Amino acid sequence: MKKEIILICIIIVLISIILFTGVIDSIYLNFNKENNNLVSKNGFLKVEGKDLTNKRGDTIQLKGLSSHGIQWYSDMINYKNLKHLRDEWGINVFRIALYTLEGGYIYKPNLKEKVIEIIDIAIELNLYVIVDWHILSDNNPNLYKEQAKDFFNEISLKYKNIPNVIYEICNEPNSGVSWDYDIKPYAEEIIPLIRNNSKKSLIIVGTQNWSQDVDIAADNPLDFNNIVYACHFYSGDHDEELRKKIDYALNKNISIFISEWGVSKPDGDGGIHIEESNEWINFLDERNISWINWSFSDKKESSAILSYYNNLEHYNIDDNLSPAGEYIKTIINTKKTNNKK
């Protein structure tokens, strides 16, 4: 008799264990499903006045990381790490910086294959992904306009009607290049070409003065829908004065997107500036402005998120964060990420 009771007790305990772990399992699956569904649920992003919204018109704020130049720092951009950044950091977007010069696409057109590889990973992970035509020392986007046209034509045809893919057509025009006479006419050629292939795609347009003079763009905006204007800042130098330009632009009802910012000085180095970064993040969160941090790389400079990367199979990026990386991880994680919408 005693033996039977003990046996029954053991069976009950076993059944409870199975049931209980099953419940845990399904909670876990549900949580993961939420994250896995990001782009399927939100679809093509749309611009409504100054707001970025999902396909149903709910506002959405993207937060994520930018690569460094993929001609130099691409080892760390793989499925495992992007999945980790999505699931553990809560990023919902990744930016691919395709430099034109400095050993970039103009010299190495096969970098396009790398871009495609990363886009495909992002699509598999249900993340938004930005294809950034990273002009910099070529300060005028018209310098390599023909190459830009071919590139964007090809990519937007390949990813025709895929909502994950966002196009950033000129990173940072600079050195006296003007919005009215250089950048706007360039955009007026590139945008129709992308939209002809993929009519709902969101497009980010760089602005004059290293993508800072969004006030000038706001005074003479593009005549297309679903356009966001890039504003870039580095907390080591940029402050209230630049935030005022953003508010000016928002008051003119154009949409601003921080497609690149860093905790450092504008050269990517020079220490991390946490206090000013906090000012910026509060400002952006209050206005639901999307942001992308520079950079997901292990370059020895303050803005890089990784301190060291050794490319081992079992490498864990969280064990190798720089001070910038530690900071960025907390600010992506702790604020509303809108992944739920």
By annotation, the residues acting in catalysis are 172, 260
Angle ∠(147,98,140) on CA atoms, nearest 5: 55
| Other CB atoms within 10 A of residue 209 CB | 18
172 touches ligand DCB (CB under 6 A): yes
Considering only residues 185, 221, 266, 270, which one is a binding residue for ligand DCB as defined by CB under 6 A? Answer: 266
Per-residue mark of binding to ligand DCB, 300-319 (x: CB under 6 A): -x-x----------------
Exposed (0-12), middle (13-18) or buried (19+): which is 190, by Cβ within 10 Å? buried
- Size of residue set near ligand DCB by CB under 6 A: 15
Nearer to ligand DCB, 136 or 258 (CB): 136
Nearer to ligand DCB, 51 or 172 (CB): 172
> Could you tell me the two tokens for 137?
């020392």
DSSP string, 269-320: -S---HHHHHHHHHHHHHTT--EEEEEES--SSTT-SBS-----TT--GGGG
Considering only residues 98, 268, 292, 337, which one is a binding residue for ligand DCB as defined by CB under 6 A? Answer: 268
Q: For the chain, how are helix, strand and coil distributed in percent, rounded to 5?
A: 45, 15, 40
Q: Pick the stretch among 213-221, 259-267, 311-319, 323-331 that binds ligand DCB (CB under 6 A).
A: 259-267
136 touches ligand DCB (CB under 6 A): yes
141 touches ligand DCB (CB under 6 A): no
Q: What are phi and psi of 228, to 5 degrees?
A: -115, 150
Asked if 294 and 66 touch (Cβ cutoff 8 Å), the reply is yes
> Could you tell me the two tokens for 296?
């997901």
Nearer to ligand DCB, 154 or 267 (CB): 267
Q: Tell me the C-alpha distance between 287 and 32, whole Å.
A: 28
Nearer to ligand DCB, 51 or 215 (CB): 215
Considering only residues 53, 171, 201, 322, which one is a binding residue for ligand DCB as defined by CB under 6 A? Answer: 171
Binding site for ligand DCB (CB under 6 A): 102, 136, 171-172, 210, 232, 260, 262, 266-268, 294, 299, 301, 303
